[in-house]
A and B are shown apart, each in its own frame.
Chain A
C-alpha cells in the first residue's frame, strides 16, 4: 500500500513556479513508476530486515520556503573547519554562505541536464530513487573539468531542522572528468523531529580520475536518513567511500557502483554506531563489468541497547570481468545482549579467473582480551573502551583530511561513554 500523503505533495511540486516545467515529464514518469511499485516490504529480499513503517506512517510534507533559515547560519557550530562548504538547509541551497574550491563548476540540475542534452539517466534502483526523481529539490551539479586536481576538500552540509514531518529529496550530480581528482565530504547534521532525508547522488568518474567520498551522518535520533549513491567508474578510476554514521532513527545507505572500465578500483568502507532503538542498514552492490578491476566492501557495526543493524553487500563479477580482485568483510561488535545484527555478504561470479573473498563475524568483546588488559593494571571499563576503539580504528583512521579525524574521534569517544 502506498501512503496517501505523497499524491498531494506531488501536485505541489508540479505547481511550484520556481521549478522548471521542463523537468516535469521526468518527475511525472518517476512518480508514476513509484505509484506502480510502491515501497519495498519485508518480503523483498533486499529489504527483509528493515521496517519502513516509520516512513509509511510519516505523513511527510515537502519542505517549503518557510522552512528556509530565517537568518544566516553559523556553520562553525557543526565542527570541521577549513572546508569549502555548500550548505543545504531543509533542502534549500544557501548560496550566500556557500563556497566551493577553485576549479569546480557548480550548475543547477536544469543547467546540468541541458549541458548533457537531456541524456542523463535517472536512477531506478529502488522506490527511493523514484521518489527522489519525482521530488528532487536543492538540485546541484558539480563538475570537475579534465586534468584538474582539486586540492582543497569540499563539504556538502545537509542541515535538517523543524518539527513538522518535513521531507527533503536532494539530488546531487557529480562528474569528475578525465585525470581529475576531488575529495568531498557529505555531512548530515541538525535538530529535527520525524524528518525524512532521501538524497540521491549520481556520480560519474572518468578515466584516470579519483574521487574520495566521506560521509558523516550525525542526524538527530528522530530523523530518517536514506542515502542513495550511484557510481559509474571508467578505466583506471578510483572511488573511495568512507562512512561514519551514528545518527538517525532509521537510516539506510544504498550504494550501487558500476565498474565499466578496465582497471578501476572501488573501495566502500563504513563504521556504523547504534544505540537505543536505532536501526542502521548498509546495502551495497558493486558490479564488475570489465577486467582487471578491484573492489572492496568493509563495514563495521557497533551496536548497543536494543539497536539493530543490517549489512547487505553484493559483488557481482560479470563474464568479461576476468582478473577481478574483490573482497568483502563485515565485522560487528555487539555491546548488548538485546542488539541484533543481520549480515549478508554475497558474491555472484560469472568469470573464471578471479580472486574473490568474503567474510563476516558478529560477537561480543573477548573476555580473554579484557582480562589481558586488566592483568596490566587497566580497569575493566577502560579495557572495554580500548578494545572498542581498537575495533573501530581501522575505519576512523581513514578520515584524514583537515580536522575530520579529531571530529570523529570526539564523537566516537562521546558515543562510547554514553
Chain B
C-alpha cells in the first residue's frame, strides 16, 4: 500500500526527516509514536502532499507508484486520507455541500455516477448514525463552532464517506474525552478490513488501546529508532522515550 524509502525532507534549510523507511501492506495498521518535534507531522504532510517541504532524498510509493509529484487532490482521489489534528474551520462553507463536492469528485474520478442531493443524504445519514452524530451537523458550516470532539467526529465522518484505502490518523485522540474516543475508535475499527490500511500518529499509548496496531514505530529526531508489535507502545508508556535516545 505505502512504501517509504530512505526519505530525507525538511523545511528551508532545516532537515526534519533523516532517512525514514516505512512499509505498510494492505489491511495493516501501523502506529508512529514520538514526541513533539520528532517529525510526525512532517511525515503525514509529505504523504498527503502539503506545500512547503523540501524532499531531498528518497521515495514515497503508494500502490507502487511514486506520488511525490502528485497534487494533494490527486492523492485524495486515489485513496489517501488524513484525519487532521487541527481540522480547519471554514466559515460559511456548508458541511453537506463540502462533503458532497468531495464525494462527487471521487466518484467522478472513478468514472462513477455523481450523487444528487437525495442520494447523498441517504448515504451520509447512515454514516452519521454510526458515529452518534445527528443530522444538524450537515447544516452547519464546516467545523465552525464545533467542539474538539465534534471536529474529530466530523473528520471520521469524512473518512467513512470518502472510503479511502490509506487513512492517516493524526493525533486523533487529542481533545477527546473517553466516551468520544470510544465512539470514534469503534467507528474506525468497523471501517478496518483486509484492503484498508491505517497510519496512526500519536504521542500517547491511549489511542492505541482502542485502535490496536499491528506495528509500532518510534520516531526520534527524524529517524525511526525502533519498531515492534503493539507491546512496544505499552513499553513506551511505562518507560517514556528516554531509553531510546542515544
Contacts and interface: CB of A to CB of B under 8 A. Distances in A.
Interface of A: 366-369, 371-380, 382, 386-387, 389-394
Given A387-B90, A390-B92, A394-B92, A374 B71 contact: yes
Contact of A374 (B76, B81, B90): B76
B179 to A, nearest CB: 26
Contacts of B72: 371, 374-375
A377 B93 contact: no
Nearest to A395: B92
Contacts, number: 79
Interface string B71-92: 1110111000110100110111
Interface residues on B, range: 20 to 34
Contact of B101 (A366, A378, A393): A378
Interface in B186-241: none
Interface of A is mostly: helix
A374 B73 contact: yes
Nearest to B144: A390
B48 A375 contact: yes
A333 to B, nearest CB: 11
A392 B92 contact: yes
Given A372-B88, A377-B77, A379-B73, 9 more contacts: A369-B88, A371-B50, A371-B72, A375-B48, A375-B49, A375-B81, A378-B101, A386-B98, A390-B93
Contact of A377 (B90, B97, B105): B105
Nearest to A391: B92
24 contacts: A367-B51, A371-B51, A371-B72, A372-B87, A373-B90, A374-B72, A375-B75, A375-B76, A376-B81, A376-B158, A376-B162, A377-B77, A377-B102, A378-B105, A379-B105, A380-B71, A386-B101, A387-B90, A387-B93, A389-B92, A390-B94, A393-B92, A393-B94, A394-B92
A-B complex: 5 closest residue pairs judged by Cβ atoms? A390-B92, A390-B93, A377-B76, A374-B72, A376-B102
Contact of B88 (A368, A391, A392): A368
A392 B102 CA distance: 20
B20 interface: no
B90 A372 contact: yes
Contacts of B75: 375
B109 interface: yes
B170 to A, nearest CB: 11
Contacts of A393: 92-94
A368 B49 CA distance: 12
A386 B102 CA distance: 11
A380 B88 contact: no
B154 to A, nearest CB: 11
